């Protein structure tokens, strides 16, 4: 999609379309900035996972953190997905969108006691636990409710996923998971707690991973550990391989989803662990290239060293460039045939020097043009904020030749509706 060759986002007579709807029409109808998602792209990405899992002992849990819109969650729930959450708020979204608690895995390094209680009462599938103190807290909450909490431990295999340091999660220096050298002893501790039921093992090594080999390296270490844990008398029913599969933002060449899933499942079977259920927790690879962020050029500002295209979307609408120096392809919604391109930094209106969406982009544009920031289906709205008291844009889902508002645009008055001034 980032090269505009995806069937969901494509040009028709020089105008970008989302499925059967002109992006220019969407911009006029719903205003700017605007998040636009494709139902077709979301469906195809999910089915690529589901088809590869068919007939295998495998389950897909969509990672809510990548895109938590109720329409997106509901679409995946209709297709049979489970979910991976990292907060009680995300659990509430899953339930509101028609997902099932019993198909939901609760991950995250900092679950509160209140969140544990809520998740236990509603009956989540499993807690992915990341420390001994968290085990003790969960055991106490479960005891207070007269329940046994199903748990797996997130094990940190110290495998380099070869990704950006801010989205690497499987190294010794990362905050996530139980250190590999401590994992067996931590499992013994969990097994001794009366209100915990050990059922699985979890591993997540990072995000935007474009090679299969780090997964296989991590799997080998995890499966070795499984054999040791079972020698200690505990039964590991599932292996959670996490998510993290990358997408094409620019020129990356991640493995095909089906190839990725099949390779991991085959590897687990070859290691003699085919009787265990395998959990996949995709996020970015489900939703990333299923969305764009539309933004209007407010001003073209020539500079002594740089030319700036100042647009109405900012770092509060798409944080990834400022946060990770991430690349998103930026294309005009309406192509100007024969127009000479100039090199611009595409920047927003937020009062920060870090408020940029793309640097050194060759664009043939004029003031008032609409641009599409590609690959914005993941970690765009989900990471957005109201910095500078900026209302967040609407979210639109395109389904064929129809466009549905799946989240209304915020209004400024909503942003301070819960605030108050001191009494006289």
Structure tokens at 147: 């329940």
pLDDT at 74: 98
pLDDT at 173: 53
Q: Which residues of 26-62 are buried (b: 16+ CB within 10 A; e: fewer)?
A: bbeebebbbbbbbbbbbbbbbebbbebbeebebbbbb
| Residue 360 φ then ψ, to 5° | 55, 55
Is the confidence at residue 166, as pLDDT, over 50? Answer: no
In this prediction, residues 291-297 reach a mean pLDDT of: 98
150 is in an annotated binding site: no
pLDDT at 161: 62
Question: Is 0.85 topped by the overall pTM?
Answer: yes
Is the confidence at residue 12, as pLDDT, over 60? Answer: yes
Closest CA to 391 of 314, 329, 337, 338: 314
244 is in an annotated binding site: yes
352 is in an annotated binding site: yes
**Residues 330 and 371: beta-carbon distance below 8 Å:** yes
In this prediction, residues 371-399 reach a mean pLDDT of: 98
Q: Above pLDDT 90, what percent of the chain?
A: 92
In this prediction, residues 240-260 reach a mean pLDDT of: 96
pLDDT at 169: 45
| Coil, helix or strand at residue 152 | strand
Q: Which of 53, 126, 203, 351 is catalytic?
A: 351
| Residue 221 φ then ψ, to 5° | -65, -40
Q: Which residues contact 21 (CB under 8 A, 6 or more apart)?
A: 398, 401, 402, 403
282 is in an annotated binding site: yes
pLDDT at 1: 41
For residue 253, give Cα distances in angstroms to 52, 56, 286, 327, 350.
19, 26, 16, 14, 33
Lowest mean pLDDT among 10-14, 60-64, 300-304: 300-304
What are the residues facing 358 on neighbouring strands? 346
Is the confidence at residue 292, as pLDDT, over 50? Answer: yes
pLDDT at 6: 61
Confidence bin at 13 (pLDDT 50/70/90): very high
Determine whether 351 is an active site residue: yes
pLDDT at 176: 76
In the chain, what is the greatest distance between 2 CA atoms, to the nearest angstrom?
A: 74
Q: What ranges make up the beta strands (E) of 218-340?
A: 238-240, 277-280, 291-302, 307-311, 330-332
Rounded to 5°, the CA angle 8-13-14 comes to 80
pLDDT at 303: 86
- Residue 338, phi-psi category: left (phi > 0), alpha (psi -120 to 50), beta (remainder): left
pLDDT at 172: 54
Confidence bin at 404 (pLDDT 50/70/90): very high
281 is in an annotated binding site: yes
393 is in an annotated binding site: no
In this prediction, residues 99-125 reach a mean pLDDT of: 97
DSSP class per residue in 154-207: EEE------S-GGGB-SSTTSSSSEEHHHHHHHHHHHHT-TTEEEEEEE---BS
**Residues 283 and 243: beta-carbon distance below 8 Å:** yes
284 is in an annotated binding site: yes
Within 13 Å of residue 58, how many CA atoms lie on the same side as its CB? 25
Rounded to 5°, the CA angle 289-242-220 comes to 125
N-term to C-term CA, the chain: 57
H-type alpha helices, 99-155: 113-122, 132-145
Is the confidence at residue 5, as pLDDT, over 60? Answer: no
Cis bond leading into 33, ω under 30°? yes
Q: What domains sit in the chain, N to C, each tagged with a CATH number?
A: 9-38+288-415 (2.40.37.10), 107-282 (3.20.20.10)
Q: What is the mean pLDDT of the chain?
A: 94
Q: Is 416 exposed, middle or buried (0-12, 13-18, 19+ CB in 10 A)?
A: exposed
**Cα–Cα distance for residue pair 372/352, rounded to 1 Å:** 22
225-237 pLDDT per residue, tens: 999 999 999 999 9
| Coil, helix or strand at residue 104 | strand
In this prediction, residues 146-166 reach a mean pLDDT of: 81
């Amino acid at each position: 999609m980032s090269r505009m060759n995806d069937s969901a986002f494509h040009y028709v007579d020089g105008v970008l379309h989302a499925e059967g709807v002109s992006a220019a029409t969407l911009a006029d109808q719903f205003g700017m900035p605007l998040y636009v998602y494709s139902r077709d792209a979301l469906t195809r990405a999910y089915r690529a996972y589901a088809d590869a899992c068919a007939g295998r002992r495998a389950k897909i849990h969509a990672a809510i953190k990548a895109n938590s819109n109720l329409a997106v969650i509901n679409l995946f729930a209709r297709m049979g997905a489970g979910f991976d959450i990292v907060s009680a708020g995300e659990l509430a979204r899953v339930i509101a969108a028609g997902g099932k608690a019993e198909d939901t895995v609760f991950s995250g390094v900092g679950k509160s006691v209140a969140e544990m209680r809520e998740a236990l009462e509603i009956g989540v599938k499993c807690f992915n636990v990341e420390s001994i103190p968290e085990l003790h807290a969960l055991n106490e909450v479960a005891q207070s409710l007269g329940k046994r909490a199903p748990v797996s431990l997130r094990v940190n295999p110290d495998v380099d996923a070869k990704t950006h340091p801010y989205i690497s999660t499987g190294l010794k220096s990362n905050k996530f998971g139980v250190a590999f050298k401590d994992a067996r002893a931590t499992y013994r501790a969990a097994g001794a707690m009366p209100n915990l039921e050990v059922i699985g093992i979890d591993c997540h090594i990072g995000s935007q991973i474009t090679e299969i080999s780090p997964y296989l390296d991590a799997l080998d270490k995890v499966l070795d550990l499984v054999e040791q844990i079972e020698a200690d008398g505990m039964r590991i029913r599932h292996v959670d391989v996490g998510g993290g599969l990358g997408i094409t933002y620019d020129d990356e060449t991640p493995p095909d989803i089906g190839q990725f899933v099949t390779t991991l499942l085959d590897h687990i079977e070859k290691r003699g662990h085919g009787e265990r259920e395998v959990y996949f927790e995709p996020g970015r690879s489900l939703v990333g290239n299923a969305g764009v962020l539309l933004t209007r050029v407010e001003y073209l500002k020539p500079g002594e060293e740089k030319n700036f295209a100042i647009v109405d979307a900012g770092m509060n609408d798409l944080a990834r460039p400022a946060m990770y120096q991430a690349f998103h392809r930026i294309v005009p919604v309406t192509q100007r045939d024969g127009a000479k391109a100039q090199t611009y930094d595409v920047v927003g209106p937020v009062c920060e020097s870090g408020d940029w969406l793309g640097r050194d982009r060759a664009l043939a544009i004029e003031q008032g043009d609409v641009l599409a920031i590609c690959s914005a289906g993941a970690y765009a709205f989900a990471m957005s904020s109201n910095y500078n008291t900026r209302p967040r844009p609407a979210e639109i889902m395109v389904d064929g030749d129809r466009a549905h508002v799946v989240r209304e645009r915020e209004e400024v008055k909503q942003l301070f509706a819960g605030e108050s001034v001191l009494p006289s």
